[in-house]
Amino acid sequence: MISIDKALLRQLLLIERPWEVREYQFDPRKRRCDVWVAPEVERGWFGRERKPAASTLTGSWRHLSIGPIQCHLHVALPPGQHHPGLEWLGEPGMPFTRALSQRVFAMFNQGVSLQSVCTLMDLSLQDVWRYRYAIDSGRPSGVAEAPVAASPAAAPRAPWADEPGHPNVPDLTDPVWMRLLNAEMGLDIRVLSLKLMLTRVRSQLELINDEEVRLLKLRELHRYFVKNERVLTHELAQLRQG
């Protein structure tokens, strides 16, 4: 096994006191490094523990890679404690740390497919699907919220919003999209795939409280209309009328 200095590993992972790297296993063939992290233990003479370590629960998450090396963190967490400022931690039951969740979520916002996210980030399809299913089911996304919650009118413009060739699609910042998602406006729909999409997204929004995930759903709906503009002329005419 190739030896890695624990202090260097701690710095690479941005782990600060009162946390420490207890153990690690590096497999160069699999390009994988497993790291065990826990709160520091008070020690006395000769490195002996002054008091027994508190009971902990272990959480495991995939973290950002270090170059081509996959990094998996196994963290001993005192029960009942929450550490929102630590990006190398993950939410309970989620497959990724907060730092990696932010990267994956950003790709979803750009319309990147599940398979492409797996390829670009060197992630398993099972883990990416688990993350996507979890946030669609109302679980926290792991993405840090902005100091002030964004409103639909202040939503960031999508890369395609200013592209020529889509003059019939209302801008992403138009309130009509949120009215459509919230079923506040009636729409005579002739395209079956749009009916199915709206039914699915509206049922998901009933579970989702995370503002970033709600905006993700808004962008997905807008992206659908951009991609299918030619077959949605009837529905787009109604949207333009508000």
Given this model, what pLDDT does residue 155 score? Answer: 41
Three-state SS letters, 152-192: HHHCCCCCCCCCCCCCCCCCCCCCHHHHHHCCCCCCCCCCH
Residues of the chain with pLDDT under 70: 1-3, 42-55, 81, 145-165
pLDDT of residue 2: 60
In this prediction, residue 151 carries a pLDDT of 41
Pairing of strands 69-77, 57-66: antiparallel
What is residue 149's three-state secondary structure?
coil
Query: What is the structure's pLDDT at 53?
Result: 55
pLDDT at 153: 39
Q: Give pTM, 2 decimals.
A: 0.83
The reported pLDDT for the residue numbered 3 is 65
Unique residue bearing structure tokens 């946390």: 19
Q: How far is CA 81 from CA 55, 92, 154, in A?
A: 12, 12, 34
